[in-house]
A and B are shown apart, each in its own frame.
Chain A
Amino acid sequence: METLLNRYRNITVLLLVIFAQLVLIAVQVRNDQDVRMVRVWSITAITPLARVLETVRGGTSGFFQNYILMRDARADNRRLQADLDRLKMENQFLRTEISTADRAKALVAFQQRTQSRTIAARVIAAGAGVSSKVVFVDRGSGSGVEKGMAVVTPDGIVGKVIAAYPTASEVMLVTDPEFAAGVVSQKNRVVGTLKGQGQSTCKVDYVPSEEKVEVGEMFYTSGDDRIFPKGFPVGVVRVVRASSPYQEVLVEPSGLERGLEAVLIVLEGVHQAIPEVPPANAPVYLGTPPPPSPGEQVVQRTGPVGTDADRLLEKYRQIGATENHKFGEGAPGTKPPDFNIKVPPPGETQGTDAANPSTVQAPAKPASPVAPSPSHPLPGSVPPTQPPHHQ
């Protein structure tokens, strides 16, 4: 028996194992239940390995994804930086174009407005000297430019032509130390001579110390030098120092304030008036009064404007018309008109009209410290009306 078992041991074990598994299947199928324990063993053995594998896979995948993303981000960054640089350059170019267009537009407008005959020119080069303030423009004798002609911009004078070549001209700027031009101040018409200093400011020479020049006022060309027509802006006074016998006046040239690109060469100058300085007590604008509050009496004054004498004359005229009396025709001793009868004051209607929003209340007194003349009321103001004076 033992020999028999040894001889068929392998097949016996196989049959036992197969039989055991068949029983296992039969039990599961019959009871429709799992053998939970075996599954728990297997899953317990497998899941830790799967978790490790998933961690490694996720980490590796994440690393490569991040690496690829980072590479993409770096490439994107480079591309966007290049785009930004290009757009900045385009933006700068367009700004320059707009600025140039604005200047050209202003130049054309000034050219049409001024009475002098001018020709537009473009600054094409600067002088070579360190202290010399000279530029070259692209208009020369071929365009009618001659030595000594004035060069201006809408903002002010720029310089004068010191040499005219066939295709270009050399212009000495107002800041050149050798430049000089006759100027006059706007307020007090103080006359002087503008001289360049090789710096950004110019000096006005020969201004007597007793003359009054204020900081901030404008100087205009006086036309005395016979180069610059009278009335072109020169610059704003920045410094005034008392000195004897002449004051020291420094002016910032207004023609060079916004750089030099395009200029006008004055071929035939026409003197023009120096603009008046607005008076210090200039009329000020007065707005309409606020709307009346509910229940408030509103007096609308719409009569003719004038002085008290005018209003008195109007009153007498109405009294005369009421009593059919013609002034200056009655014989001496005749009955004079009754000046005590009540007539409505000229141009005055009194009543409550709160429901009418169009009625406005006259201001009590003007806001300006200087009362406006009744014959020249301030814009937007209504002159005060005197109450009727009974005599």
Chain B
Amino acid sequence: MTEYGDRYLVGNQREQVSRFRARVMLAVPLAAILFQVYVPRFLEFLGYLELPLLVTIYFALMRRSQIGGLFIGAFIGLAQDSLSIKQPLGMFGIVKTLVGYFAASVGLRIDVEHSVIRLLLTFFFYFFHQFLYWVLARGLLGRQIPFEIQLTLVLGVLNAVVGVTLFHFLDKLREPA
């Protein structure tokens, strides 16, 4: 890419960077974690929703900052780890750190305002998240947990659909440019 092209890209990206208030950046991940630990007590089928992951993807995509994305992922992942029983701290932290980093990297290069792009990205990162967690669990902890591809794909679609809807509402929390 030429120097002019890089300048144009960076300038265009800066205009597209979404900004959020600090309380939104704090409250939304907390609400997502709370949803995951509280709601399945009463509605068990909602336990398949990975809201912390969806929130990580959204903020990483929209802020278009790799460092910001990885820290958001690490923060949410560690919080999720700390609320998981018999789960060493860092498992979800590493996975979501990588998801946040790569999501931010993708957000730097493509238009993530489109719903279809969001749907595909969410599906991809859900699958990536689940697969990476399975790899880490087997590699680091030696846990022989199965990886059901079909179920993961179906849940990926479901999470992607919910994610697109959730992103639509989270867009309203952005600060006006």
Q: List residues of chain A with CB under 8 Å of any chain B CB.
A: 9-10, 13-14, 17-18, 21-22, 24-25, 28-29, 34-35, 38-39, 41-43, 45-46, 49-50, 53-54, 57
Contact = CB atoms under 8 A, between A and B. Distances in A.
A9 B67 CA distance: 9
A29 to B, nearest CB: 6
A22 B83 CA distance: 18
A320 to B, nearest CB: 117
A10 B66 contact: yes
B30 interface: yes
Contact of B88 (A18, A28, A54): A28
Give the size range of B's interface with the partner.
Answer: 20 to 34
Contacts of B67: 9-10, 13-14
A53 B38 contact: yes
A101 to B, nearest CB: 63
B70 A17 contact: yes
Interface string B60-86: 000000110011001000110111000
A320 B88 CA distance: 133
19 contacts: A9-B67, A14-B67, A14-B70, A14-B98, A17-B70, A17-B97, A18-B98, A22-B140, A25-B89, A25-B140, A28-B90, A38-B78, A38-B82, A38-B89, A41-B82, A42-B79, A42-B83, A53-B38, A57-B42
Contact of A50 (B37, B93, B140): B37
Nearest to B83: A42
Given A17-B97, A25-B141, A41-B82, 8 more contacts: A14-B101, A17-B71, A24-B88, A38-B81, A45-B79, A49-B31, A53-B38, A54-B38
B117 interface: no
B83 A46 contact: yes
B141 A29 contact: yes
Given A17-B71, A17-B97, A46 B37 contact: yes
Contact of B66 (A14, A38, A45): A14
B23 to A, nearest CB: 13
**Which of A24, A41, A43 lies at the interface centre, i.e. has the most chain B CB atoms within 10 A of its CB?**
A24
A24 B90 contact: yes
Given A14-B101, A17-B97, A42-B82, A25 B90 contact: yes
B33 interface: yes
A29 B142 CA distance: 11
Given A17-B97, A39-B82, A46 B89 contact: no
B22 to A, nearest CB: 15
A42 B78 contact: yes
- Dominant SS among interface residues on chain B: helix
B53 interface: no
B160 interface: no
B14 to A, nearest CB: 16
A21 B37 contact: no
Contacts of A57: 42
Contacts of B83: 39, 42-43, 46
B51 interface: no
B89 A18 contact: no
B34 interface: yes
A46 B91 CA distance: 19
A43 B94 contact: no
A29 B140 contact: yes
A24 B38 contact: no
A53 B33 CA distance: 13
Contacts of A17: 70-71, 74, 97
Contact of B34 (A21, A25, A50): A50
Contacts of B101: 10, 14
B94 A22 contact: yes
What 8 A-B pairs are tightest by C-beta distance, nearest first? A42-B82, A21-B90, A39-B82, A25-B90, A10-B66, A28-B88, A24-B90, A42-B79
Contacts of B30: 45-46, 49
Contact of B94 (A18, A34, A45): A18
A98 to B, nearest CB: 59
A335 B81 CA distance: 143
Interface in B18-54: 30-31, 33-34, 37-38, 42
Nearest to A52: B34
A226 B91 CA distance: 121
Contacts of B34: 46, 49-50, 53
A20 to B, nearest CB: 8
Contacts of B31: 49
A57 B35 CA distance: 13
A121 B112 CA distance: 102
A53 B38 CA distance: 9
Contacts of B42: 57
Contacts of A25: 88-91, 94, 140-141
A27 B122 CA distance: 32
A113 B70 CA distance: 114
**Which of B30, B78, B88 lies at the interface centre, i.e. has the most chain A CB atoms within 10 A of its CB?**
B88
A62 to B, nearest CB: 14
A320 B37 CA distance: 125
A256 B158 CA distance: 89
Nearest to A42: B82
